[in-house]
Each structure stands twice: as structure tokens, then as C-alpha cells.
A and B are shown apart, each in its own frame.
Chain A
Amino acid sequence: SQTIHQWPATLVQPVGSPLSLECTVEGTSNPNLYWYRQAAGRGLQLLFYSVGIGQISSEVPQNLSASRPQDRQFILSSKKLLLSDSGFYLCAWRQAGELFFGEGSRLTVL
């Protein structure tokens, strides 16, 4: 069966520090992968999505970047975090029109 994992689950980082959130999918090949951010009162905002290795589409301009070095690996990064990057980040993959989400990563930037 297919599973999705993301880590770390919780992260507290100082402003200006780098960020790396990782997401991996098991049990499927060539999935569409997504990074969403959930901010209070603003629902889920799509940040990046990828339809294949090395193919990254960005939805909104921001301080973050994404990479897909392997078929089932999707990484969310930042070189220098801002306070506004705090939030709950969700990785997801799509099958048969439905999104399956990871457990989420809560990032607090201080």
C-alpha cells in the first residue's frame, strides 16, 4: 500500500537560519507531489507542486524553494527563514483524483 511520510514533525528555528523539510512516498511511482502551508485563518495554501523528477512549479512568490531529486522525494527548503515562514507544512500526493497527506511539519521561526 502507498504511504507518505514527512519530517521533521516539529521544528523551531531562528530567523535567518536554513530550512529543509523532507517528504517521501512509498508504494507508487511518478506521483504528483505537493507542498501546502496551513496558516491560521487562511486555510491551505499551495506552495509548490511537482509532476516529475526535477519538475517544480511554484504557486506563490516567497522565501521558499522546492526540489525533487528522486521520483518519490520532495524537499522544501529555505536559505534564510523569515518570521512569516512559521506555519504548518503539509506534503501530499495524488492518486485517482484524491490527495493523500503526510502528517505535517510544524515550523516555528523565532
Chain B
Amino acid sequence: AQTVTQSQPEMSVQEAETVTLSCTYDTSESDYYLFWYKQPPSRQMILVIRQEAYKQQNATENRFSVNFQKAAKSFSLKISDSQLGDAAMYFCAYRSPVSYGNKLVFGAGTILRVKS
């Protein structure tokens, strides 16, 4: 079974600076999908960014980008020019393209604190 590991329970970043959240996963599949979700305090979880494993180019969404290292099974999230609104719990997730029900497997999450 696939597993997702987020080794940083908590991270802090100064406003306007850059922070990187780590994620590693374990799988024997060659094709899959990876996601970063953001859960602000008392608000709904939303998708930040997604990456298809067959794409070599790293995904980017405005200030959010990923460093996808397929051989190392690493999928880190970089947040540039951090803003107070970025403070949230961030979850890394994995989805197999062949899993029945298209289930997502999530990591334990990383709490990101942004200091002004």
C-alpha cells in the first residue's frame, strides 16, 4: 500500500520569505498523482497544487511551486513571498490512477505559521 510521509509537524516562516514543506511517499507504481492541500484554521480544505508523475516539469501555481523528484519519491512544496493568509495546515496526498474509488492517501500534515 502507498504511504505518504510529512516529516515536519510544524514550520515557521517570516512574511515575504520563502519556505519549503517536505513530503516523501512510497509506491511501486510508475504513474500516479500527487497533491498539496491547504486547510486554513476553521475553514475548508482546498487544493493548492497537483502534479502528474508522468510530467517531468514541476507544477507551479502563482507563489506555489513543487520540486518533484520521482526517483527519490519526493514532492516538496515551495511557497514564495509568504503571506499571512498562507498560515494553515498543509497536507501532501497521493492517488493511484488504478485504485478503485480513486482514493487519496494523505500525509500527517505540516502546520505552517507565518510571522509578521
Residues of A within 8 A of B (CB): 32, 34, 36, 41-46, 49-51, 57, 59, 90, 94, 97-99, 101-104
Contacts and interface: CB of A to CB of B under 8 A. Distances in A.
Nearest to A33: B101
Contacts, number: 54
Contact of B95 (A41, A90, A97, A101): A97
A97 B37 CA distance: 13
Nearest to B105: A46
A101 B109 CA distance: 16
The range of chain B's interface size is: 20 to 34
Contacts of A97: 33, 50, 95, 102
Interface of B: 4, 6, 9, 33, 35, 37, 44-47, 50, 91, 93, 95, 100-109
B15 to A, nearest CB: 27
B101 A43 contact: no
A50 B109 CA distance: 25
Contact of B101 (A45, A51, A103): A51
A102 to B, nearest CB: 7
A97 B31 CA distance: 14
A87 B108 CA distance: 14
B108 A43 contact: yes
Contact of B91 (A44, A46, A94, A103): A44
